């Protein structure tokens, strides 16, 4: 049975010094098996707990011989003197109890950190998720102009209502609140907006910011509660200018010298020829 280390008093622990050299040293302070004070060449001190847990396993020694041992764990308990000897011994005693129960404190700590990370991920707001999504989509646009239009659409219609909501909490009611006011009056805009919201929520799901169905999905979801875009959106052409009004309208355009006027002058000969050809053909 290994010899138990003598329990050092707080004063004795305070007086411990590094013996020299380039490597840290560990000094057993007693009171609880496995508790040590690590001293670095710089003089910095910190608490370390070393213990074993789990089933006995066959392991190979450096010299090639076989022996039986359990898994070893070495865990930091904090710096000295921020963590005093009494507190360090209490922490070590708690860890030793876990090891005796077959619980790996390191694995338990990693699991807790993972849960905290997942919880933090699910604290993403729609605005935060959209900004990340927009950054990944930036290279897909044909130019900066179209990218700005795409972002502006979301900022005008989606961000004011959804921006501060957690993506995990966004549901069908939230999506309808954004889309319904413009679904029938500005359906092309609403359709693009729905695609942006759907893409942002899909992006959030892939990155672990939310779970569950996408409330902005069209097929079998919004298609049930909103009218079909092809039926809601009825495109209407602008009425044609009466032939008798063409000269007066042309004079107005020529006076302003707009880009449209310049383009009209380029296509006018072709248009006139087409009209004359059509009239001539009809008169034959």
Give this prediction's pTM.
0.50
Q: What pLDDT digit, counting tens, does each position of 35-93 carry?
A: 999 999 999 999 999 887 755 566 677 777 776 656 788 888 999 999 999 999 999 99
Q: Considering only CA atoms, which of 206, 181, 211, 208 is closest in space to residue 194?
A: 181
3-state secondary structure of 102: coil
Q: What is the CATH number of domain 10-57+66-121?
A: 3.30.160.390
Q: Residues near 128 by Cβ (< 8 Å), separated by ≥ 6?
A: none
Conformational region of residue 78, where left means phi above 0, alpha means psi within -120 to 50, and beta covers everything else: left
The DSSP code for 164 is T
**Do 191 and 226 meet the contact criterion of CB atoms below 8 Å apart?**
no
The position carrying tokens 């809601």 is 232
Fold annotation for 126-232: DNA polymerase; domain 1 (1.10.150)
Max Cα separation, the chain?
123
Q: What pLDDT digit, counting tens, does each position of 89-148 carry?
A: 999 998 888 888 878 877 777 877 777 776 666 688 999 999 999 999 988 888 899 999
pLDDT of residue 98: 87
Domain ranges, ordered by start, for the chain: 10-57+66-121, 126-232
């Amino acid at each position: 049975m290994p010899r138990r280390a003598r329990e050092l008093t707080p004063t004795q622990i305070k007086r411990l010094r590094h013996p020299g050299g380039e490597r840290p040293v560990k000094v057993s302070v007693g009171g609880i098996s496995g508790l040590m004070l690590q001293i670095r060449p710089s003089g910095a001190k910190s608490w370390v707990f070393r213990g074993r847990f789990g089933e006995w396993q066959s392991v190979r020694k450096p010299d090639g011989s076989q022996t039986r041992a359990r898994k070893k764990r070495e865990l930091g308990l904090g710096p000295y003197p921020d963590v005093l000897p009494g507190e360090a011994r209490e922490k070590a005693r708690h860890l030793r109890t876990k090891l005796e129960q077959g619980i790996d404190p390191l694995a338990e700590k990693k699991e807790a950190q993972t849960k905290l990370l997942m919880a933090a991920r699910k604290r993403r707001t729609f605005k935060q998720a959209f900004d990340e999504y927009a950054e990944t989509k930036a290279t897909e646009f044909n130019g900066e102009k179209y990218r700005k239009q795409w972002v502006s659409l979301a900022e005008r219609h989606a961000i004011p209502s959804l921006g501060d909501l957690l993506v995990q909490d966004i549901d069908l009611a939230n999506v309808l609140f954004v889309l319904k006011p413009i679904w029938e009056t500005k359906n092309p805009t609403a359709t693009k907006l729905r695609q942006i919201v759907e893409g942002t929520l899909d992006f959030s799901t892939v990155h672990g910011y939310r779970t569950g169905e996408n409330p902005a999905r069209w097929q079998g979801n919004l298609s049930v509660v909103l009218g079909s875009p092809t039926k809601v959106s009825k495109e209407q052409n602008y009425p044609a200018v009466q032939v008798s009004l063409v000269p007066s309208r042309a004079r107005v355009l020529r006076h302003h010298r707009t880009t449209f006027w310049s383009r009209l002058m380029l296509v006018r000969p072709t248009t006139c020829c087409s009209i004359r050809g059509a009239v001539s053909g009809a008169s034959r």
